[in-house]
Amino acid sequence: MMQFYYSYQPVIDFFLLSLGFAYSQQIALRAGVFSIGTAAFAALGGYLVAILVTRTEMPIWLVIPAGAGIGAFGGYILSIPLARLRGAFVAIATLAFVKVIIALLLYFEDFTGGGSGDQQHPARHEHMVIGADGSAGHLHQLVGRAVHPGADFFGPGAG
- Other Cβ atoms closer than 10 A to 35: 25
Q: Is residue 32 part of a domain?
A: yes
Q: What phi-psi label fits residue 58: left (phi over 0), alpha (psi between -120 and 50 degrees) or beta?
A: beta
Return mean pLDDT, the chain: 76
How many CB atoms sit inside 10 A of residue 118's CB? Answer: 16
pLDDT per position as a tens digit, 111-144: 877 777 666 665 554 444 444 455 545 555 555 5
User: pLDDT tens digits for 51-79?
Assistant: 888 888 788 888 889 999 999 999 899 98
Distances (CA, A) of 128 to 25, 58, 157: 29, 9, 20
Residue 61: inside a domain, yes or no?
A: yes
Helices (H) and strands (E) in the chain, counts: 7, 0
Q: Residue 100 pLDDT > 90, yes or no?
A: yes
Closest CA to 140 of 122, 152, 127, 153: 153
Total domain count for the chain? 1
Q: Residue 82 in contact with residue 40, Cβ under 8 Å?
A: no
- Asked whether residue 19 is assigned to any structural domain, the reply reads yes
Q: Does a structural domain hold residue 102?
A: yes
Q: Which domain holds residue 82?
A: 13-147
Domain membership of residue 153 (yes or no) is no
